[in-house]
Amino acid sequence: MRQIGHLENHSSALTFSDALFVHGIENEVKPDDDGSWIVWVHAEERVPLARELLSLYKKNPDHEKFHQAPEKAHELRRVEQRENKAYKKRMATASRAISGVFENKTGRLTLALIIISAAVALTSGLGSNKGPISGLFITDYEIIGNRIRWRPGLTEVFQGEFWRLITPIFIHYGIFHILFNMLWLRALGSMIEWRQGALYFGILVVVIAAVSNLGQYFLTGPSFGGMSGVDYGLLGYVWIKGKYDPKFGVQLSNVIVQLMIVYFFLCLTGLFGPIANAAHGFGLATGMAWGYLSARRR
């Protein structure tokens, strides 16, 4: 904060302070020992303009810039207060919406999925050692230089290893990856499990997992993993089911949906590194379709 000068009395100091505020310059006026008032400007880069305005004010305090400043500043402050109030209200709504998603107790099957994911993460060193978990990938592959090589056609699946269509959901790369995915699995999974039973929830997870994993495989190959495709599928299911079936008993807040959709598009930018974006898309579409058909049938 920088001092830019003095004004003789409180009234003129307040008028000039309002003029600075109208020009977007945050400031304060404080009394000095000699009875004058010191003008302080918060931002260093705004000091030159503030000094220029102060010089003009001392020469011509009746200039229209300053004469109308108190009224304009008052209106701007009213607008600012309304915006701050609206912002606080939005934040409170968002906070309630997010906390509401996590109110359900953790379902047993949901907890089992979390434990399996954690065990796989520990066994593989959060994906850094794929040897012990090679049987969980949708198909075997090897990395040669910068290339990934695998046999096309999902040979292992057609030889009876059907679990490979599902098990990539348990593979995670990095602490943020698994924490984010488990957080939303616990919230959305428990929500569905408590309302529609573990069997229904389990079938939903299996179908979303298979569709999202196959979609990711056919678009990018076998080197992927994570629960996020399922998470987006559960999101889509709860969102659409709750919207069209009041008896479901849950309606996701727009805040939650917007948050996850924004994250979906941020992932597409590559900002968070390599992400199974196709699994997100296929999972979301599958969950939404299931939710809509389920709601229409009811």
Catalytic status, residue 228: yes
Q: Are the C-beta atoms of 239 and 250 separated by less than 8 Å? A: no
Contacts with 92 (C-beta within 8 Å, 6 or more apart), sequence order: none
Q: Which of 140, 177, 190, 187 is nearest to 161 (CA)?
A: 140
One-letter identity of residue 245: D
Q: Are the C-beta atoms of 275 and 267 separated by less than 8 Å? A: yes
Of these residues, 17, 117, 190, 280, which one is catalytic?
280
Of these residues, 223, 228, 253, 294, which one is catalytic?
228
Active site residues: 228, 280
